[in-house]
Amino acid sequence: MTDDRVQMDENPEGIISGEWPENFSLLCYDDLRVYLETQIFDEDIKRPSVLLGDVMSTTIRAAIVDQTLEEIDHHFEFVSGLPVIDHELRCIGVISKSDKTEPSLKTKVNEVMTSPAVTLTPEKTIMDAAALMLKKKIHRIPVLNKEGKVIGMVTRTNIFQALEAVMA
């Protein structure tokens, strides 16, 4: 059996940004998810209680539901995914770089977005977000207020940086 995972020295930029290939991991997603879930639900284990509201990115780029892929393409120079909002600014989905592989840049966002979006609130912890990211195999989660409006984004990078700070 060969190990097809990317080695750490093959993609150092990806490791730093948190945007590494799906097959790059120290453990498989399911193993890490199971471990994190035991950490979250085991009352006797002290775990990081850092709130998403304290670590989320509040500079938000978003796609509006009826925009075309061409209109949002420039965002993907900076981020790998965007929340999709309606005209009332409520989060109704997400779109990632891989969703924009449609043949036409005239395709509307709502035709290729993933909906409903997997979201959390700022009162949830980084462990909640980490377990959800692993379970759903996603890289980012919009953080919503009570009205369903995006107030932040939390990425794997945010989670790892917060965990590193807690463990230091």
Domains of the chain: 24-167 (3.10.580.10)
Higher-scoring residue by pLDDT: 26, 79: 79
pLDDT tens, position by position, 66-107: 999 999 999 999 998 999 999 999 999 999 988 877 678 899
Mean pLDDT on 58-69:
95
pLDDT of the residue at 53: 94
- Residue 143 and residue 119 in contact, taking contact as beta carbons nearer than 8 Å: yes
Assign residue 140 a region (left: φ > 0; alpha: ψ between -120 and 50; beta: otherwise). beta
Q: By percentage, how much of the chain surpasses pLDDT 90?
A: 49
**φ/ψ (deg, to 5) at 149:** -95, 145
Q: How far apart are the first and last CA of the chain?
A: 37
Chain Cα centroid distance, residue 44: 28
pLDDT of the residue at 132: 92
For residue 38, pLDDT over 80 is answered with no
For residues 108 and 24, what is the distance between their CA atoms, to the nearest angstrom? Answer: 32
- Report the mean per-residue pLDDT for the chain: 80
Minimal CA–CA distance to 79: which of 151, 150, 157? 157
Tokens for 90, please give them. Answer: 């409520």
pLDDT of the residue at 8: 44
- Residue 19 and residue 76 in contact, taking contact as beta carbons nearer than 8 Å: no
pLDDT of the residue at 127: 87
pLDDT of the residue at 46: 54
For residues 109 and 129, what is the distance between their CA atoms, to the nearest angstrom? Answer: 25
- Residue 95 and residue 109 in contact, taking contact as beta carbons nearer than 8 Å: yes
For residues 85 and 103, what is the distance between their CA atoms, to the nearest angstrom? Answer: 23
